[in-house]
Amino acid sequence: MRYFMELSYRGTAYRGWQTQANGVSIQSTLEQAMSKRLGWPVYILGSGRTDAGVHAEQQFAHFDTDQPLPLTDDLVYSLNCILPDDIAVHAIFPVDESVHARFSAVSRYYQYHITREKNVFAPGLTLHFRPHLNIDRMNEACQILLRYTDFKSVSKARANVAHFRCELAFAYWTTGPGDRLTFHIKANRFLWGMVRTIVGMMLEIGQDRLSLDAFDQILQARDRTVAGRAAPANGLYLVEVEYPEGVLANRPAK
């Protein structure tokens, strides 16, 4: 049987989603906790491989087991008692065995959060950035971004992918509440380091250090070396993963 797991996590202490040889990952931590709770080895596949330090308000993963699970509140509660405080499982539910957490997903929605004031109660959860930013120009850059489907210029050079095409649904900046500035971007897929590289260039545009024409030329170049530095991971969140109608039909009501 195949089961989906809905979860969230604060990525500060982890080397990203995927199991790593040189550090603790979200995936390995979940697998250890799930294996301990069920009493047999469990291998978990996520909807996306978030980078080191990146957070998720909503993430989905799947795992297979030969034994049906007791789908009660106690299962989720006991699993959360085993997991560290910065990872939370919200639901576990059955899906058709043909459904894949990564390949069945039709879109992912990310946000990047920036604050002008330092918040001592939420370290590592936003980018503290003091320079003035021209939000109108940054949103003009978003309109340029939406004209493209090939994003090789904003993918890490070592990305092992067959192609660099992504279909963007939206990209824009908003302000508030308080001093918060948020970048919103949704696409059918994302490349390794893509959102952080885009945000890094947007910050340059907002400070008038990068022109809109130069931004356009960078995207046309299909060359990561001309795109500049990526923004830090701590402000980035995976906030929503979307699946075709019916895939999440067995998810418990909130």
Instruction: Tell me if 115 is assigned to some domain.
Output: yes
Specify whether 123 is located in the same domain as 92: no
Give pLDDT, residue 173. 98
Tell me the two tokens of residue 76: 């989720």
Parallel/antiparallel/unpaired status of strands 55-64 and 44-46 = antiparallel
pLDDT band at 84 (very low <50, low <70, confident <90, very high): very high
Query: Above 80 in pLDDT, residue 178?
Result: no
Among residues 51, 64, 73, 213, the one annotated as catalytic is 51
Specify whether 153 is located in the same domain as 190: yes
Specify whether 234 is located in the same domain as 114: yes
Predicted confidence (pLDDT) per residue in 28-77, tens digit: 999 999 999 999 999 999 999 899 999 999 999 999 999 888 888 899 99
CATH code of the domain covering residue 24: 3.30.70.580
Instruction: Tell me if 130 is assigned to some domain.
Output: yes
Instruction: Tell me if 251 is assigned to some domain.
Output: no
Query: Above 80 in pLDDT, residue 8?
Result: yes
Say whether 148 counts as a known binding-site residue: no
Specify whether 143 is located in the same domain as 164: yes
Instruction: State the burial class of residue 189 (Cβ atoms within 10 Å of its Cβ: 0-12, 13-18, 19+).
Output: middle
Domain boundary among 79, 103, 127: 103
Whether the upstream peptide bond of residue 177 has omega within 30° of 0, thus cis, is yes
Instruction: Tell me if 30 is assigned to some domain.
Output: yes
Specify whether 150 is located in the same domain as 26: no
Residue showing tokens 């043909």? 98
Domain boundary among 103, 119, 135: 103
Q: State which residues form the domain around 65.
A: 2-103
Known catalytic membership, residue 213:
no
Query: Above 90 in pLDDT, residue 137?
Result: yes
Instruction: Tell me if 245 is assigned to some domain.
Output: no
Instruction: State the burial class of residue 121 (Cβ atoms within 10 Å of its Cβ: 0-12, 13-18, 19+).
Output: exposed
Specify whether 128 is located in the same domain as 230: yes
Specify whether 183 is located in the same domain as 59: no
Specify whether 197 is located in the same domain as 84: no
Instruction: Tell me if 249 is assigned to some domain.
Output: no
Specify whether 160 is located in the same domain as 86: no
Specify whether 182 is located in the same domain as 67: no
Average pLDDT of the segment spanning 187-204: 96
CATH code of the domain covering residue 220: 3.30.70.660
Specify whether 159 is located in the same domain as 63: no
Half-sphere exposure of 46 (CA within 13 A, CB side): 24
Instruction: Tell me if 254 is assigned to some domain.
Output: no
Query: Above 80 in pLDDT, residue 210?
Result: yes
Instruction: Tell me if 65 is assigned to some domain.
Output: yes
Give pLDDT, residue 71. 84
Give pLDDT, residue 159. 67
Mean pLDDT of the chain, nearest integer: 93
pLDDT band at 160 (very low <50, low <70, confident <90, very high): confident
* Structural domains in the chain (count): 2
Domain boundary among 38, 68, 103: 103
Specify whether 140 is located in the same domain as 232: yes
Cα→Cα distances 70→3, 61, 94, 166, Å: 12, 18, 11, 39
Contact between 111 and 239 (Cβ < 8 Å) = yes
